[in-house]
Amino acid sequence: MIRPIYLYGSEVLRAKALPADLNAKEEIAALITDLKDTLAKADGCGLAAPQIGVSLRVLIVDGRGLADTYPYLKDFFRVIVNPVVLRQSQEKCEYSEGCLSVPGVYADVVRPSAIQLEYYDGNLCKVTEEFTGFACRMVQHELSHLDGELFVDLVPPIRKKIISRKLQRISRGQVGTAYTSRIK
């Protein structure tokens, strides 16, 4: 089912998400389906459960649409449940980020260039995986959502000042999106 995407200013985006109950397999499967359907409709590359109003530690990332730019992402799709960062590199990299919850705003964000993650996949099997490159960026961006953090929180103060009017308009609902959105 396609759900509305919550926008900047919504309380659910600022709460630390709770671990998903791995015994609630049907509920998790339904949530994953909703995330996939909503992401496909919104034409993004990642979506975390809080973005659709569910404060659980579940996210999806889909790099397949970026394979023209990043060929190594041609088969990259992950369902990530209850992730734990085991290790992150000291080396950092900078990429421009945007977000379905912060439409029309883009900014360069510095994050670790590699992370090792332990999580449960869509079948609720435990996985340990290392992410690098743009896959790492997508995963870290969505992980931030699970901790109530948005990419605009990670930009230098001068950049945040520059985008502050756009953020205020979004939080007041003065923004159009090509997908169903909500502020609450």
| Paired tokens of 87 | 């290790």
Catalytic annotation on 142?
yes
Burial profile 76-88: b = 16 or more Cβ within 10 angstroms, e = fewer: bebbbbbbeeeeb
Q: 138 burial class (0-12, 13-18, 19+ CB within 10 angstroms)?
A: buried
In whole angstroms, give the CA distance from residue 161 to residue 156. Answer: 9
Compute CA distances 54 → 22, 34, 36, 59, 88, whole Å: 15, 11, 14, 11, 27
Q: 11, 91, 129, 142: which is the annotated catalytic residue?
A: 142
The residues that bridge with 5 in the sheet, in sequence order, are 181
Greatest C-alpha distance within the chain = 46
Identify which of 48, 151, 131 has the alpha carbon closest to the alpha carbon of residue 86: 131
Catalytic residues: 142
